Amino acid sequence: MATAFIAREIFTGQEIQTGKAVLVKDGKVKGIVPDNEIPADYRQRDLDAYLLAPAFVDLQIYGGNGKLFSAELTTEALDATYEYCLQGGCTQFQITLATNSIDKFIRGLEVARDYRAGGGKGLLGVHLEGPYINPVKKGAHIEKFIKKPSLEEVQHLVQKGKDLFRMMTLAPEQCDPVCIDLLQQHGIIVSAGHSNATYDEAIDGFYRGIPAATHLFNAMSPLQSRQPGMVGAIYDNNDVLASIVCDGIHVDYASVRVSKKIMGDRLFFITDAVAEVQYGEYIHVDKGDRYTLPDGTLSGSALTMLQAVRNGVEKVGIPLPEALRMASFHPARLMGLHNKFGSIRTGAQADFVVLDEQLNLQKVIVEGED
């Protein structure tokens, strides 16, 4: 069905336009036209006095709606995570597995493949956070599973992952550059994180082509006057993007604000959200506004992508268009998917959020349907 979506304001991913309509057919954006030039064969859908914007993209989420993917390893857990994402305006997500056994990683990849084969929606791929991290910066990760990579093991993961293994967080100082190169040769986004790298070690990894860093500030060597660390290297390299958990708990809002001033469009939001679970390797305790391990170690957020956007605008002072980009266009750009997701442009998938002036979610539109 051909539909013209009319809204008070349309945020394309680059600019806010008024007096326009987005033309959608067969789940794709066909163009943006003045609202008095809508073709006759398009049914008109008036979204009232709302803002229409690209739906969000979350590159790091572990579960949702009471189901932690690593604990269950079921397609039902992926369904629950997708529904949780939708509640926060997110239509595309990377399910994430924290440091664990290689066998569990491979099983997770198999379940993700089953989810896709069964028509499951929204899954961009699998993000393996670990096991090739630095135990000094393990955070909530389980130390007994942390290791240095072998080329054979990385080749095994790549072969089993095929088109689903899309991203890996690792500590560059713990990894032979040959292993990092192999991941990147197969199109896997390598993100530096859970790292105690010196500034020089981090910069060397970035110069080798590592394009990203995982949850800025959390579980990484800090910026200090004589030891700039991983944070300093991220600030200092103009090509590296970094995710950040904008909940005021993982990172103080002032730190988000300072980082945004330095990094500009290189900083983007993730939720790093988990679900409460009392079994399996990772026990997450619901503390209302966060999750912790039983010993109190911070282990995940209770964020949605929309709440990250709201916090960015209301607590950090980021202009709304840029806060929306941090939840959509910038993460899609890192994955090389910005022509398909994170913007409203001809040929893009018609995934939108409809927001009121208080940034409350009114509708989520997926492939032109809500």
Mind listing the pLDDT tens digit for each residue in 163-187?
999 999 999 999 999 999 999 999 9
Q: Are strands 290-292 and 298-301 parallel, antiparallel or unpaired?
A: antiparallel
Residue 354's nearest CA partner among 5, 15, 43, 85 is 5
Average pLDDT, the chain: 97
Span 220-247, mean pLDDT?
A: 98
Cα 104 to Cα 106: distance, rounded to the nearest angstrom: 5
Does residue 311 have a pLDDT over 90? Answer: yes
How does residue 48 score in pLDDT terms, banded at 50, 70 and 90?
A: confident
Span 98-110, mean pLDDT?
A: 98
Does residue 1 have a pLDDT over 90? Answer: no
Whether the Cβ atoms of residue 90 and residue 328 lie closer than 8 Å to each other: no
Does residue 159 have a pLDDT over 90? Answer: yes
Does residue 269 have a pLDDT over 90? Answer: yes
How does residue 64 score in pLDDT terms, banded at 50, 70 and 90?
A: very high
Q: Quote the pTM value.
A: 0.98
Domains of the chain and CATH, by start: 2-53+344-365 (2.30.40.10), 56-334 (3.20.20.140)
Catalytic choice (176, 272, 295, 351): 272
DSSP 250: S
Cα 236 to Cα 217: distance, rounded to the nearest angstrom: 14
Span 328-344, mean pLDDT?
A: 98
Instruction: Based on the residue annotation, tell me whether 26 is a catalytic residue of this protein.
Output: no
Q: Cβ-count burial of 223 within 10 angstroms (0-12 exposed, 13-18 middle, 19+ buried)? A: middle
- Per-residue tokens: 198: 């010196």
293-326 burial: b if 16+ Cβ within 10 Å, else e = beeeebbbbbbbbbbbbbbbbebbebebbbbbbb
- Per-residue tokens: 59: 């590159």
